Structure 1
Amino acid sequence: MKHTTLPNTDIKISKICLGTMTFGQQNSEAEGHAQMDYALEKGVNFFDTAEMYSVPGRKETYGSTERIIGTWFKKSGKREEVVLATKIAGPSPGMPYIRENMDFSPASIALSIDKSLTRLQTDYIDLYQLHWPERKTNMFGQRGFKVQDDAWEDNIQNILETLDSFVKQGKINHIGLSNETPWGMMRFLEESKYHNLPRIATVQNPYSLLSRLFEVGSSEVCMRENVGLLAYSPLGFGRLTGKFLNGESLPKSRIELFPQFARYNSTQCTEATKLYNEIALKNGLSLTEMSLAFVTQQAFVTSNIIGATTIEQLKENIASIDVVLSDEIIGEINAVQAVIPDPAP
């Protein structure tokens, strides 16, 4: 396994991060425990979760992923070997079961942190992230920004002051954002700089061969401000494994189980995937290996969040750390991007 450090810290983390959102719906507790055992054995010491997981969010399964991680910590005694990241959910009219006020007020943050700590059976969270912004902006498959009257008032300084209080209490160590824009990242950086408040270490956004929009604007922020991208959906909800190339039906796949997540289902995604698969095969790689290696070796990527529903998938995903793409392969990939740019927003 290759390792790096969480930006602006001395915390050593693996370049591959174990995503866990399948624990509690697609994966049982035993399967989740097996994945964490295997990942740690292979040097993956960075686990990511969220209070709303498993996905898709449902009242019946809310918090199930954190609970499964918590029982693994208790059983294994390996909490100190893991760098743990979780998230607080932002405003969502469809999730009133999480808490009455789906905002980032001091009361909401306090409640969410304490609930996560209880489910995770730990005293502290290494990286605490805001899962999505309070304000209305383009995220979750929305390509462009449209001005909307969302009654949001800039409270970023207040959010950082609240998070700072939990850093001082020892309940969280570092903070990050998720599904955030360049403007949002810079506002948080600005407030932390001028008010001596905790600085964001990371941003967790989608990034893959099918969605390279992060390269426009956000990548410059990350590289100039030393903020690390935690890239999620590097395989485009399984599209970039190649298993849909022949039009077969896979009823247990995420794309078919959760049709509401449709950003990877366009004709352009299918066509681009075929072209990427040809590049991989020509160079003796699987499409999975090439897709994950492309993400991992980007200079602005701190860690690549992989997720799996089987140990076999997990093994291939983790093994991709040993694949290094040549300049020639990158050139071929960029040629496809030029013809079918970012088919998934």
Structure 2
Amino acid sequence: MNKRQMQYRPLGEAGPQVSAICLGTMTFGQQAGEAEGHRLLDHAFERGINFIDTAEMYPVPSRAETSGATESIVGNWLARKPREKLVIATKVTGPARSLGWIRGGPPALDRANIRAAVEGSLRRLRTDYIDLYQLHWPERNQPLFGQGSFDPARERACTPIRAQLEALAELVEEGKIRQIGLSNEQPWGVMEFLRVARESGLPRVATVQNSYNLLNRVYEYGLSEISYREKVGMLAYSPLAFGHLSGKYLAEPAGEGRITLFESFGVRYTKPGVQPAVRTYVELARRHGLSPAALALAFVYSRWFVTSTIIGATTMAQLVENLDAWDVVADEDLCREIDAVHLLHTNPAP
């Protein structure tokens, strides 16, 4: 297999160049300790990865005892690296989830909460600025993390999008954040953030970080057009569907991972169509002489609308396999076979 050079792409319209693979760190501080986390970060950096993603609520599952530990692990590593050569992304925790240890809930994505979150992240990351600051999920009523369809009956008061952008604008002006992004968003939300920013002279959204993998290609239906027409980059998380697309949960007993370690984790992957789809993709990978993980990652790596794919790893073996998958080219023939499976098993875990 030929070795491919790592690609670098602009973050948003005119942001820094980021590697086409981003190292996600949500297991650091829970499944991987600080020493192992630093080993993984070192190896990724040596392999050309300059883009690191984290969040104030990490590691996951989020707990009061460990909340913020991931940013601290990344920050201790960052302190001994050339800061200007790295692009660091983190996220502010939104409301509507039971995370009472983070600013009491938090109740809103208002100015006070966004500012407090940024100050905390800067302190833990041991840096003067954050390259990409993302709203982890919307404050408004919206189905999240595979919950289902939009329900108007769940409408509630929320901080206006303009007020959220104004709070972020202050932090951009102060030099504490450089670009802003959204996460777990829908087409209406992305376009509304863009509209308000354009009409009010506020910071423009650079990226959208959403789940995207062989079991969940919903991004293609509406958001991919926005990526193209509005030049908003897509950051694809969960390219292996929390490990399902590695095939390890098909075994008896199932392989170790977050799904087996933590009760009620990854609910969207408990739906009845997931296992049959995974089996079919695993069979396809083996017919092509690939590991199931390599097939799944090569597909996401090949998508034109993906600025960077966020890979996670708890062990060095996982990280090496995920990085080596960059050398697998998902050509037209392979993508046609993947699309044939997709027609039979369409988005079992949206």
TM-score (norm 2): 0.95
Q: How does 1:85-234 map to 2 (within 5 A)?
A: 85-100=89-104, 101-153=106-158, 155-234=160-239
Please give the secondary structure, in 1, of the residue aligned with 2:152: coil
The equivalent position to 1:84 in structure 2, one of 85, 88, 95, is 88
Matched, 1:297 2:302: yes
Gaps of 5+ in 1: none
2:101 corresponds to which letter in structure 1?
Y
Q: 1:116 & 1:153 partners in 2: Cα distance?
A: 23
Q: 1:25 & 1:323 partners in 2: Cα distance?
A: 31
TM-score (norm 1): 0.96
Answer yes or no: is the 8 Å Cα contact 1:134–1:152 preserved in 2.
no
Tell me the alpha carbon deviations over residues 183-202 of structure 1, each in whole angstroms, 9 at most, x when there is no partner: 00000000011111100000
Relative to 1, partners in 2 of residues 1:278 and 1:137: Cα closer, same or farther, differing over 3 Å? Answer: same
2:236 corresponds to which letter in structure 1?
A
Q: Which residue pairs with 1:259 in the alignment?
A: 263
Matched, 1:340 2:319: no
What's the offset of the Cα at 1:161? 1.2
Q: Which residue pairs with 2:66 in the alignment?
A: 61
1:137 corresponds to which letter in structure 2?
Q
Gaps of 5+ in 2: 1-5
- How many residues align structurally? 343
The equivalent position to 1:12 in structure 2, one of 17, 38, 41, is 17
Q: Which residue pairs with 1:328 in the alignment?
A: 333
What's the offset of the Cα at 1:259? 3.3
Larger mean CA deviation between 197-206 and 241-250 belongs to 241-250
1:254 corresponds to which letter in structure 2?
R
2:87 corresponds to which letter in structure 1?
V
Q: Which residue pairs with 2:319 in the alignment?
A: 314
RMSD: 1.3
What's the offset of the Cα at 1:143? 3.1
What's the offset of the Cα at 1:153? 4.3
Answer yes or no: is the 8 Å Cα contact 1:292–1:320 preserved in 2.
yes
Please give the secondary structure, in 2, of the residue aligned with 1:32: helix
Tell me the alpha carbon deviations over residues 201-247 of structure 1, each in whole angstroms, 9 at most, x when there is no partner: 00111000011111111111111111111111100110111112233
Answer yes or no: is the 8 Å Cα contact 2:180–2:203 preserved in 1.
yes
2:172 corresponds to which letter in structure 1?
V
Tell me the alpha carbon deviations over residues 47-68 of structure 1, each in whole angstroms, 9 at most, x when there is no partner: 0000000001100000000000
What's the offset of the Cα at 1:175? 0.2
